[in-house]
Amino acid sequence: MACERHVDALTALALGGPLEPEVAAHLAVCSACQAWLAGEQSVAAAVDHALALVARVEPEGDFHVRLRMTAERAAPVMRHAWWWSAAAVAAAILTLVVVRVPPTDSLPAAATVSIPTTPALPPSVPSDVAAATAPHDRAPVVRVARAARDRRSTATPPEPHVLVPAGQAEAIVRLFGNLPADSGPVGLAASPAPVGQAPGVGDIDRIVVPPIVIEALVVPRPLLLAPEPQK
């Protein structure tokens, strides 16, 4: 065993630290510390020897080719991932621009979303199918109206001011429908078309939602997948 007051210095020395003059003088006369230092150095050498193995071993043969092939095989679709990402971001921005949600401080107590419906189709029909089968002379828009900010105000509610393509109407309704239960009154009701409605628009589904802020749009996973091969 080394002299206790020199143990730390000897360990540091064995690990490549400097040899302090005081320790050097002590080492010259203390055989116990010399043996201790030799032991520490042999441990350090064993560690170095084992670790040196890591740098000595090389991958076999055409390792780089195998790396490349594996990477490409694992990710054939993602070659143009940047393009899909850019498209998804652009779609999200476009949606946010079209559905202009007011900032929190100017949100009304409630908002009304008016959606033209196609009476011939059941409500369960997907929106893209509904859009595809809808007559072209119908106005393919959804009108989003703000209620008066102050509910006590007796002023006439403002006119609808945001138009949304009909193909996105159901998605918006779903978005509102997915709001947490405690987020306020959410309801869907049928009502007659308002006076002055665009020609061809029939009954109106009306959804009443509390003020919301859309923080982010999540692009559905299937958008990032490659198209199914033609059978």
Query: How near is the Cβ of 59 to other proteins at its closest, in Å?
Result: 5
- Cβ proximity to other proteins: between 60 and 182 the closer is 60
Contact between 223 and other proteins per CB under 8 A: no
User: Which of 42, 133, 153, 183 is the binder for other proteins (CB under 8 A)?
Assistant: 42
98 and 168 Cβ atoms separated by less than 8 Å: yes
Residues touching other proteins, count (CB under 8 A): 40
Contact between 58 and other proteins per CB under 8 A: yes
User: Which of 20, 72, 150, 159 is the binder for other proteins (CB under 8 A)?
Assistant: 72
Contact between 221 and other proteins per CB under 8 A: no
Contact between 54 and other proteins per CB under 8 A: yes
- Cβ proximity to other proteins: between 63 and 174 the closer is 63
- Cβ proximity to other proteins: between 35 and 225 the closer is 35
Amino acid at 81: A
**Which sign does the torsion angle of CA 99, 104, 108, 110 carry?**
positive
Residue 59: other Cβ atoms inside 10 A: 9
- Cβ proximity to other proteins: between 5 and 80 the closer is 80
Contact between 47 and other proteins per CB under 8 A: yes
165 and 141 Cβ atoms separated by less than 8 Å: yes
User: d(Cα 209, Cα 212) in Å, to the nearest integer?
Assistant: 8
Q: Which residues bind other proteins (CB under 8 A)?
A: 11-12, 14-15, 35, 38-40, 42-44, 46-47, 49-55, 57-60, 63-64, 66-68, 70-75, 78-79, 81-82, 85
